[in-house]
Each structure stands twice: as structure tokens, then as C-alpha cells.
Amino acid sequence: MSNIKERRQKAQQEIQDFKVRKNARIIAVLFWFASSMYIYSNDVGFADVYSWKPFVFFILGPIFSAIVFGNIIFYSQRLIEKVVIRILEASRPQLIPILVIIIFFCFLIALFLVIFEFAKILQYLLH
């Protein structure tokens, strides 16, 4: 009986991890599009209609962003949760959800800035 419960919990955890990983990839792609649209719209010479640069920015960029930055978001979220839980589980367990949300939100802001700078470097290299 406990073997069935363990398998059920493992399956539910895998489903949850899949959903979190998918959401992390979506967030990374949205960050990439926001950064790319800003950079693409502000640079006059870069935004040629018949160029391979938009292909790199709007087709290959989101794929790369989903793979690399999506995994960074996923594993960072798990790391933040584990560290905060380990630190606060004995002393103040009621603060765990609030602190995880605040730290993860700050991390997402920092990652958006990293993605923006990465897109600027890519634009500089393609120019």
C-alpha cells in the first residue's frame, strides 16, 4: 500500500516539476521578447526589413532563452526554496512562503537585466 502511495507522490511531483519548468521557460521567452523588442525598435540600422538579424533575435533567441535561462530559473527557484526552508523551518515556518516569493521576485528582476544585457551584447555582435 505504501509503495502505491510513494509512486503516486513521485508521479505528482514529476507533473508539478514539468509545470514549473514549462512556466520558467515561458517567463524566459517573455523576458527575451521584451528585451529584443526594445533593442530592436531603438536601433535604426539594426532593424532592416530584409536581414537575418530579426531571425536571430525572434526565432533563435527565444529558443536559446527557453533552454538556457528557463533552466536557470527552474533550478534557481528550487534552490531558493530549499535554502529558505532549511534556514527557517525550525524557527519561523510562517515566513517561508513570503520570503521565497520576495527572493524569487528579486531574482527574476535580476535575471531580466541579465537577459537584457545578453540581448544587447548579441545585438552588438551582429551589428
What one-letter code names the amino acid at 98? I
For 19-54, what is each residue's pLDDT tens digit?
999 999 999 999 998 988 888 777 766 655 567 777
pLDDT digits (tens, 9 = 90+) for 78-106: 999 999 999 998 898 899 999 999 999 99
**Domain map (residue ranges) of the chain:** 2-126
Q: What is the pTM of this model?
A: 0.82
Looking at residue 41, its pLDDT comes to 78
Instruction: Determine the pLDDT at residue 46.
Output: 60
